[in-house]
Amino acid sequence: MMSFMLNMFDSLKWLTGWEMILCALYLFVLLGYAFLKNHRWFYFIPVAGVLIAVISLITGDDSILALLIYSSTAILFLCTVRRIFKPAIKPLSPKFQTVMVIVFVLGSLPTLLALTIAGEVRYNPVSDLSHKSYTQAFNAMNERLSTEYPFGDWKQIDWEAKKNKYGPIFRQAEINQDPNLYYKTLRDYLFSFRDGHIQIVNEHLYDDNSVFKHEVGGGVGISTIQLDDGKVLVSLLIPGSPADQCGIKPGAEIISWAGKDVQKALDGVSWSENPPATEGDRIQNQGRFLARAPVGQNIQVKFRNQDDPAVITATLTAYDDQYETLKKTRVKLKKEDPPVEGQILKEKYGYVKIRYYLPGTKQSDPAKALEDIIKEFQEKLVKGIIIDLRDNPGGDDDLVAQMAGLFVNGKRIFEYVSYYNRNTGRFEINRAETRTVQPSRVYFPGKIAILINHNTASSGEGLPLFLQGMPNVKIIGFTSTNGSFGVVSAPIEMNMPEGYVVRFPDGRSLDQNQQIQGDSDERGHGGVTPDIKVPMNGQTFKMKVIEGQDVELNYALASLND
């Protein structure tokens, strides 16, 4: 109870000035009914509350927090409006006073609910910059982010340097009235943050985005992967495509692309669906986008097929493949796929696939599903558990913390959450959102191997972050996780010229020492680094891409056998 009251009191710091006044008015009226004598002026206080609520709404505060407080204000007004027009002649009876106190206490429930979630649903105004020029909008965006972006210091962002670098390009786009240059510069600016949570929410890349279509709408029928030693090999080949027709085979080494050494060609690749937060993510996406070009463009390529010393030169013409190579190399979850599935492998190891941390259409309680799976594993005496988090895009941190309770036997902090406080101008911890892992009824103390990749993102990174370092746990993967563990509760949002809406994370996840955890830094280092890094070399490429083996799973089984 004491903790609840402290959280409620702490939540007051997230209220706007108008919201604080409304809460104070409500408390005053509640106490008035309990202690004041009958005064007509008293009944006009809720009218003032309604006027304040209207002013607050007009000024733009339509957050969930505000709407809940407005609802309490409306209930208060409805309960007293009759007394304004028909004032009481006799003093209020004790019985009536008691009834009204009860009514007001019940009516205050929306406000009490608001205070329990105030930090998460606080007012975070949308910046409408759509009416400004390209340059003005950029400057205003950069200025707001310099104060409110959660990872400015963590990533050592030089805001003035960004202004000096991108400002002249926005100005050139403005002078030339070039919306395409404006859009590409906006993307470049956003991508420079190295934060996978940053997005243009309405750019519709695969649908009607003319710039994306013009720049990378053409394919030649291949996708590539860069090995640890720098070699670039073909990881996907579309039958009947220009690449197939010129003799390129799966596993072929690309030596040069578009007249450039392949390394220089890769360095020139900047397109991606989302900002790559880590170096591993960047390298993966460069391999996917290397063979994308404008439709109709001729590309000279030098390649060498496996087990063939001959270097072949060919010219490929990019065609409209409806982004086939991009779609085939990007995992897309299906709603009908359950969030959690498990099985026992023939080696007597338990295997759990956690696709995402949200309820599914066919599985409403993923935490209970995981608990049942772990319980079954224990009954069947598995020798260890493999938790597969590859391509997990995240979901709900509360669900992650609940699942983590299956693997600890003591209470532990999962995360503190910190937001920018508009009242104090500082980032402050939201006490009510502190997540603690409580031991579950089912506890697995045995060996655990966790599989990750560069697409293990957001809340998907929570379990490996929490469990890494425990003596019975090993993290395994080719790369680190995505490195985008920021919190998106009431995101920073801006309406930009040309109709684009940009969105940024608004909160930091902090570890038990209240230090930022999970997000990449300015060098692209971050996420969860594997304890056992699987090498991407010729042998593992062949096993994974050509033969279709699950290389990471094999490494996990080997680690559990040690």
Interval 490-548: pLDDT, tens = 999 999 999 999 999 999 999 999 999 999 998 899 999 999 999 999 999 999 999 99
Give the full edge-to-edge strand order of the sheet including 292-293: 292-293, 218-219, 319-320
Cα 381–387–389 angle (5° rounding)?
170
Nearest in space to 316 (alpha carbons), one of 342, 344, 294: 294
Residue 193 is which amino acid?
A: F
C-beta neighbour count of 547 within 10 angstroms: 9
Whether the predicted model's global pTM rises above the 0.85 cut:
yes
* Cβ proximity of 10 and 64 under 8 Å: no
Q: Which residue, 314, 270, 315, is CA-closest to 297?
A: 315
* Residue with the larger pLDDT of the pair 118 and 154: 154
Residue 422 pLDDT > 70: yes
Residue corresponding to tokens 């999962």: 414
Predicted local distance difference test score (pLDDT) of residue 83:
67
348 Cβ contact partners less than 8 Å away, ≥ 6 residues apart:
381, 382, 383
485 touches 533 (CB < 8 A): no
* Rounded distance between C-alpha atoms, residue 158 and residue 329, angstroms: 34
pLDDT at 132: 97
pLDDT tens digits, residue range 312-355? 999 999 999 999 999 999 988 887 899 999 999 988 999 999 99
Q: Are 287 and 226 in contact (CB under 8 A)?
A: yes
- pLDDT (0 to 100) of residue 208: 86
Amino acid at 269: V
| Per-residue pLDDT at 357 | 96
Query: How confident is the model at residue 38, as a pLDDT?
Result: 58
Structure tokens at 262: 């392949």
What is the mean pLDDT of the segment spanning 541-557?
96
Please state the rounded mean pLDDT for residues 429-456: 96
pLDDT band for position 5 (cuts 50, 70, 90): low
Under 8 Å between Cβ of 62 and 493:
no
- 164 within 8 A of 533, measured Cβ to Cβ: no
For every residue of 268-292, DSSP letters joined together read T----SS---SHHHHHHHHHHHTTE
**Nearest CA to 312 among 374, 384, 409, 246?**
246
Q: Among candidates 51, 266, 217, 16, which has minimal Cα distance to 123?
A: 16
Q: What b/e string do you get for 378-402 counting C-beta neighbours within 10 Å, with b at 16 or more?
A: beeebebbbbbbbbbbbbbbebbbb
Share of the chain above pLDDT 70, in %: 93
The answer to whether 185 and 211 have CB atoms below 8 angstroms apart is no
pLDDT band at 107 (very low <50, low <70, confident <90, very high): low
Q: For residue 490, give the 3-state DSSP assignment.
A: coil
Cα(389)–Cα(367) distance, integer angstroms = 15
Predicted pLDDT of residue 10: 84
**CATH dotted code for 213-329:** 2.30.42.10
Q: What pLDDT does 92 receive? A: 60
Q: List pLDDT tens digits, range 82-92.
A: 766 665 555 66
Say which DSSP state 532 is in: E
Structure confidence at residue 34 (pLDDT): 59
* 519 DSSP assignment: -
In angstroms, the CA 138 to CA 497 distance is: 9
For range 390-405, the mean pLDDT: 96
pLDDT-based confidence at residue 1 (cuts at 50, 70, 90): low
C-alpha 506/C-alpha 490 separation (Å) is 6
Residue 217 DSSP one-character state: -
Decide: 194 and 522 in contact? Cβ < 8 Å: yes
pLDDT attached to residue 335 = 78
Q: Once rounded to an integer, what is the mean pLDDT over residues 122-147?
A: 97
Which DSSP category does 92 fall into? Answer: P
Number of alpha helices (DSSP H) and beta strands (DSSP E) in the chain = 19, 23
Q: How far apart are CA 355 and CA 311, in angstroms?
A: 42
Domain locations in the chain as residue ranges: 1-122, 126-196, 213-329, 340-561
Distances (CA, A) of 197 to 223, 487, 488, 490: 25, 9, 8, 13
Side chain identity at residue 358, one-letter code: L
What is d(CA 559, CA 405) in angstroms, rounded to the nearest whole number? 23
User: Which of 26-30, 166-170, 276-280, 294-298 is predicted with the least confidence, judged by mean pLDDT?
Assistant: 26-30
Coil, strand, or helix at residue 164?
helix
* The amino acid at 86: K
- Tell me the chain's radius of gyration from C-alpha atoms: 28
Please give the CATH architecture assigned to the domain spanning 340-561.
Answer: Alpha-Beta Complex (3.90)
Name the region of 462 (left: φ>0; alpha: ψ -120 to 50; beta: rest): alpha
Strand partners, 257: 260, 301
Confidence at residue 163, expressed as pLDDT on a 0 to 100 scale: 97
The strand order across the sheet containing 492-495 reads: 127-128, 492-495, 501-504, 199-200
- Give the Cα separation of 219 and 327 in Å (integer): 12
Q: Report the mean per-residue pLDDT for the chain.
A: 92
Q: Residue 71: what pLDDT?
A: 87
